[in-house]
Amino acid sequence: MSKTNPLASGAIIALCAILSACAVPQTGANLDHAASAIRAARVAGADTYAANEIQAADDNFRKAQTLARNNRANRAQKLLELATAQADLAAAISEAEHAEGALATLEID
């Protein structure tokens, strides 16, 4: 029977534990989700009604793409979450502005 070094085994186990604790989540689905939210905001007219919010969402989305390419998935995921929330806000603002604009037009007519 070959002798195994308990110190080495312990170190390997600990390393596995550390790696599993800091496991990186997949960003693919989050990328799709954020892109979808940005697209929805654009469809709602965010470029007109919520330019700052959609710009911020776009910026964060692009940064996240770069980070994901550079294997910094954790940071990328955070930025994608932020981009999604910003895009959702942009969409909501656009919907509100759009509806209020239509209401104002109707009242003027």
Partner 1 sequence: MTSRTRLKASTLSLVVLGALSLNGCAGKQVWSPELESATKTYQEIAQDPLVSALAAEELAMAERQLQRAQTAQDQYKPVSWVQHEAQVAQLKTLTAQQRARALSANHKLQVAMGQQTLLSEATLMAAAPPPPEIEPTMAAATPFDMSGPYYAGAQGDIEAQLAALSQQLAALQIQLQAQSATIDTPQTLTAPQAQTNATPVAPVAAPIGDLPLISADPAGLESEMAQQTAAASSTDIAAEPAIAAAMSVQQEQQPLPSAKQLHRELLAMNARSNSRGMALTLGDRYFEGRSSRLWSKRAARHLDNVAGFLDRNPRLSLDIEAHTDDEASSEENHDLSIDRATAIKSQLVLRGIEESRINATGFGESRPIAGNDNPLGRLQNRRVELIFPNIPAANI
Closer to partner 1 at the Cβ: 1 or 107? 107
Residues contacting 79, CB < 8 A, separation 6+: 60, 61, 63, 64, 67
Binding track, positions 38-77, relative to partner 1; x by CB under 8 A: xxx--xxx--------------------------------
CA separation for the pair 77, 86 (Å, rounded): 14
15, containing H or E segment: helix 6-21
- Which parts of this chain interact with partner 1 (CB under 8 A)? 5-7, 9-11, 13-15, 17-18, 21-22, 31-32, 35-40, 43-45, 78, 81-82, 85-86, 88-89, 92-93, 95-96, 98-100, 102-103, 105-107
